[in-house]
Structure 1
Amino acid sequence: MSITRPLLDTPFIRRSNHLRTFITASWLGWQIESNWADPFLFAVYSIVRPVTSVLILVVMYSVITNGALQEPIFAYIYLGNALYILVGQVITGVSWSVIDDREHYRTLRQLYTTPMDGYSYLMGRGVARLIIGLISVLITIGFGMVAFQLPISIGTIDWLMLVISTVLGVLSLAAIGMVVGSLTLMLARHFWSLGDAISGALYLFTGAIFPLDVLPAWLRPIGFAFPVTYWLELARRAILGPNAAKFPTLSGFSDLELTGILAAITLALLVFSWFFYRWALHRAKENGIFDMETSY
């Protein structure tokens, strides 16, 4: 806590309960996520896990295409899979904190009797998973550049578009995680895999490893409804530039149009998640299941 104390003592943050709660929850989340091993073992795990995961995908792709690793579609698939790490980490990072506090630490009731802002607290708890996810993404992309000669050049990356799209994408994922966490507040059972189930479903419908064109026409609108679809497309364009594979479903949209759509969906999700969280918290308390454990 000594690291965050100077930040918490600044006048601007001291006046904001939301910011103080968010920063404290971020620090708490990092302590929880990183304290299960010594720093060396944690670093090894952070490197080995994403590399071994992506190698499974590369082997499957190589078997199907007879090793066509130089085709644009390979970079499309590889980069989409690498970026998608953030989806699972952010959504489950926010939503799992409810399960952690209620089932593992059994402190949910005590937390919500303090004068903290619950929405900011859950958002802050997801920051640790976000940091771990970002590290995994960088390791995975770097490994692809070295081992598979991905057509990525640091000098040609559109950093502005990449940063803007990623910030919007992460905010939209955090909003989805808040909705999942709010649902978890109202469920006393059968909630363990809720975050993983939703992130797994998005893997199919958002063009993470294959374009929306391969989906049946009646399923494609589902992909257009999710912000992840637009974030992945913008990130691919920013990183790969002219080497990015283009498919009919999104090739007709300019970068500015995709950014506008992503920003609009993100704003709508953030507003909805705030109202939904307030409603879910009220319902959970009214029904007496707010801090009810699985073994009740």
Structure 2
Amino acid sequence: GEVDPQMAVMNDLRTMKNAAWLGWQMEANWADPFLFATYSIVKPISATLILVFMFMVVTGGDTDNAYFSYMFIGNALYMYVAEVLFGVTWVIHDDREHYMTLKQVYIAPINFYAYILGRSAIKIVITTAGVIITLVFGVLVLGVDIFLGDIDWLLLAGSTVLGMGCICVLGLALGGITFLTARHSIGINEGVAGIFYVMSGIIFPITALPTWAQSISKVLPVTYWMDSMRRALMPDAMAELSSAAAFDVTGLGGFSNLYIMIYLAISAAIFFVLSLAVFRFADGVARRKGKIDWTTSY
């Protein structure tokens, strides 16, 4: 008989909810909620302080400038790139290699995409908590230039949604590649994340890169996402960067907020189509070659 669209949607939502619950239990390692909350607070702050101390050593302890806020916010937001990008891919890797349940998930009467999205959603929630904790720590303790009255909330909301969309669909493509790789998927993920870290203006403006590298940077959607998030969170500091140096330090100062948002939206749409094609192709090859539940004997 014909499929009831409403029933199909309800089934997908139920799959996402159960997958999110499973993802939460796995991320928390079935730990005590208080213990996991403590870990969630300490981990992002301690990781960020490493870079903060490096910055202080280089600048002689000077953190009262726009460059420090630029670096700090970029490093905090990079958690999304590292954790969410890895998280989408790790769903497949973990279920296949560690728990060896990928075959059972595949033959279950559920939408596999809904399952991946549900498992990844909890990763976004946990990462968001880490980003907020890090930014609050930066504002209260380190004097990062974020003021609630100056935040462009509309730009912040739009950039967050579009940026998360881009990162998730990129993770979907890498997840498809994971079907066809053995022990190399982790290295591929780290390599892609490393490209974004260097090329997307995470800790230094893209104008610090060679000219050929800047050309690559201006194609990557993460570059525009980082710039739009900084414009939303610290508009005055972003203006100060370029005015103090008398040139466009960020390399994107000539682009309006609307241009960047349109670029992000188009990028998300293009990467969604490409990622879906890569995932389906890799999925088909993995099915034909029997690699769906093929572990590499870790």
Same fold (TM over 0.5): yes
Q: Return the alpha-carbon distance in structure 2 between the equivalents of residues 22 and 270 of structure 1.
A: 19
So what's the TM-score if we normalise by structure 2? 0.91
Query: Does the aligned pair in 2 maintain the 1:13–1:20 contact within 8 Å?
Result: no
CA distance 1:262–1:274, shift in 2 (3 Å): same
Whether 1:20 aligns to 2:14 is yes
Q: Return the alpha-carbon distance in structure 2 between the equivalents of residues 43 and 193 of structure 1.
A: 29
Q: Return the alpha-carbon distance in structure 2 between the equivalents of residues 29 and 214 of structure 1.
A: 39
Match of 2:289 in 1: 287
CA distance 1:274–1:16, shift in 2 (3 Å): farther
Q: Return the alpha-carbon distance in structure 2 between the equivalents of residues 13 and 221 of structure 1.
A: 47
Query: Unmatched 5+ residue regions in structure 1?
Result: 1-10
Q: Return the alpha-carbon distance in structure 2 between the equivalents of residues 157 and 99 of structure 1.
A: 39
Map 1:137-152 onto structure 2 (within 5 A): 137-152=131-146
Map 1:175-254 onto structure 2 (within 5 A): 175-244=169-238, 245-246=241-242, 247=249, 249-254=251-256
Q: Which amino acid is the alignment partner of residue 263 of structure 2?
A: I
Q: Return the alpha-carbon distance in structure 2 between the equivalents of residues 295 and 40 of structure 1.
A: 35
Match of 1:120 in 2: 114
Deviations 1:72-125 (A, max 9, x none): 111000110011111111101100011111011111111111222222221221
Q: CA RMSD in A?
A: 1.7
Query: Unmatched 5+ residue regions in structure 2?
Result: 243-248
Query: Does the aligned pair in 1 maintain the 2:205–2:250 contact within 8 Å?
Result: no
CA distance 1:120–1:222, shift in 2 (3 Å): farther
So what's the TM-score if we normalise by structure 1? 0.92
Match of 1:56 in 2: 50
Query: Does the aligned pair in 2 maintain the 1:230–1:258 contact within 8 Å?
Result: yes
Q: Return the alpha-carbon distance in structure 1 between the equivalents of residues 250 and 128 of structure 2.
A: 29
Q: Return the alpha-carbon distance in structure 2 between the equivalents of residues 73 and 122 of structure 1.
A: 37
Query: Does the aligned pair in 2 maintain the 1:91–1:177 contact within 8 Å?
Result: yes
Instruction: Work out the number of aligned pairs and report it.
Output: 286
Q: Which amino acid is the alignment partner of residue 46 of structure 2?
A: T
CA distance 1:51–1:284, shift in 2 (3 Å): same
Query: Does the aligned pair in 2 maintain the 1:123–1:178 contact within 8 Å?
Result: no
